[in-house]
A and B are shown apart, each in its own frame.
Chain A
């Protein structure tokens, strides 16, 4: 298992968002998380990704327990080991697509030339290389989302987390993004944990975890 969480529980005030949730992800595995609105999908994703700290339970990345690390060590670990694709491309609006894709490598202090080569290669594979110098506001939603996929992959993370990665796209643009995300993740060996409410999206995964009322129902 690359990522393993057991007995997760978390509340927001009176709302129990997760109770007794167990999830285990194998290296390179693609897993979809489904469930009704409010069932705890995004919360689970945030706990697995070390963004939220659970009240109960543990999260392990490889052999390392990560839920009890300090905030700064957790954000360092997120930067190094995880990639993220959110519903509305959270690219930095002031940076070009190329600079956005290079960003994780720059933050990890990779050599500039290496960041350049790697981002160029990914943008090419995602067929947005001719838009590399435009800013996110100057490309379509689908194109921006492909750049977000490149950014999520650029530092070869062990796990990519995606929350409704195609939620804002029509089905044709969504398929291009999903083909790229799952195809490249498989090729590079990154696991993917992807929240979606669409079965056609979940069909890209190896299996589906279904949540109900904060529990894993199936």
Chain B
């Protein structure tokens, strides 16, 4: 996530200690991965260096915890830009691992169906956890759970669609020209092992 832009946004209403920013961040976004304090200070240093925030004072005492930052005019401009610009609609690479696994399984002569069945059960197990979280959580927790549930739901639809087309997909994958065949001395593991 864009930690630096989030911290910038949290700073806009009023100048803050890094400690307060971190607490707010964890409350809203840190359910799965809380922020480390070193990361907060490194990010604030970078924002300071880039002129998006500036030191507004140092509270009594010593240590980085005491520094109070304020957003600069350039920071407000950057925050506006970040909020106004729609995100690129994209699927993270990690979500496509299953797609790769299916193709590799089929092209290496393994059955893909049991793999998809196991993945479906793993997704459903996670959805059950989220359902519980959703029922017990506050509004923030509910929306957080919904976000993940709808994404898992999309994965599951893809799994069902892929499972229904495995035979055709296997034919397609195995009809592709074999790159190893063109290189003398290379072993086409597929033909030899299976």
Contact = CB atoms under 8 A, between A and B. Distances in A.
Interface string A203-218: 1111010101000011
Contact of B127 (A202, A206, A210, A217): A202
B120 A218 contact: yes
A200 interface: yes
A198 B156 CA distance: 9
Nearest to A218: B117
A202 B124 contact: yes
A203 B121 CA distance: 11
B123 interface: yes
Interface residues of A, number: 15
B150 to A, nearest CB: 8
A75 to B, nearest CB: 34
Contacts of A210: 117, 120-121
A36 interface: yes
B76 interface: no
A168 B84 CA distance: 38
A204 B123 contact: no
B120 A203 contact: no
A179 B142 CA distance: 15
A200 B149 contact: yes
B17 interface: no
A107 interface: no
Contact-residue bracket for chain B: 10 to 19
A41 to B, nearest CB: 13
A208 B118 CA distance: 12
Interface string A118-144: 000000000000000000000000000
B152 interface: yes
Given A36-B160, A36-B164, A203 B128 contact: yes
Contact of A203 (B149, B163, B164): B149
Nearest to B118: A218
Interface in B167-186: none
Contacts of B156: 199
A208 B153 contact: no
Interface in B102-137: 113, 117-118, 120-121, 123-124, 127-128, 130-131, 135
Most buried by A among B117, B124, B160: B124
Interface string B152-165: 11001000100110
B152 A199 contact: yes
A198 B135 CA distance: 18
Given A36-B160, A36-B164, A208-B124, A203 B131 contact: yes
10 contacts: A198-B153, A199-B127, A200-B149, A200-B153, A202-B124, A203-B127, A203-B128, A208-B121, A218-B117, A218-B121
Interface of B: 113, 117-118, 120-121, 123-124, 127-128, 130-131, 135, 149, 152-153, 156, 160, 163-164
The 3 closest A-B pairs by CB, nearest first: A203-B127, A218-B117, A203-B131
